[in-house]
Amino acid sequence: MEISAGYSFLHEGGGDGSDGLSVPAGWYASGGGYLTHWLGIVGEVNGHHKTFDDFGGDVKTSIHLYGAGPKLALRLSPRFTPYVQALFGGGRTRASTSRVEVTLSGFAYQPSAGIEINNSSETFGLRLAVARASVRSEGEWLDERMFMAGVVFRR
């Protein structure tokens, strides 16, 4: 069994020629277990929050993703464990001002890849990962890219 938590940076959109929205204040938490030496099942949640000035006032945004799925780990060395995983679940984006609130939610999938740098007993490590989440809402796909850094504990 393993649990991990840490920091997450998210960049949303920008595929249509716009700059998109960067959200530097984020977090993630995940947990799972391995069925074999290399195949596991994981679940993950993450949240990102930002307030910025637009339209003459504050706009508060929040983006949350959650999912579960398979994780494949390449265990060639006890010190370094590269992995890939694919999560399937949901996502929700909310933006609000003093006058209006918009919420979008829908199905999400999130492929990601990373590396865990482990201590000698492999009970503790540092995790670095990149992910691309796609959320299907109101007939359109919203693209989000993430960088995550955190700690991982194993039993």
For the residues 6-18, what does the mean pLDDT come to? 79
Domains of the chain: 2-130 (2.40.160.20)
Point out the least confidently predicted range of 7-21, 29-43, 56-70, 75-89: 7-21
Residue 29: band (very low, low, confident or very high) from pLDDT cuts 50, 70, 90: very high
Q: What is the pLDDT of residues 49-58, one digit of tens each?
A: 999 887 678 9
Neighbours of 98 (CB within 10 A): 9
Q: What is the pLDDT of residues 89-104, one digit of tens each?
A: 999 999 998 889 999 9
Find all residues with CB under 8 Å of 147, minimum gap 6, and list them: 8, 9, 129, 130
Angle ∠(155,109,43) on CA atoms, nearest 5: 20
Under the banding of pLDDT at 50, 70 and 90, the label for residue 38 is very high
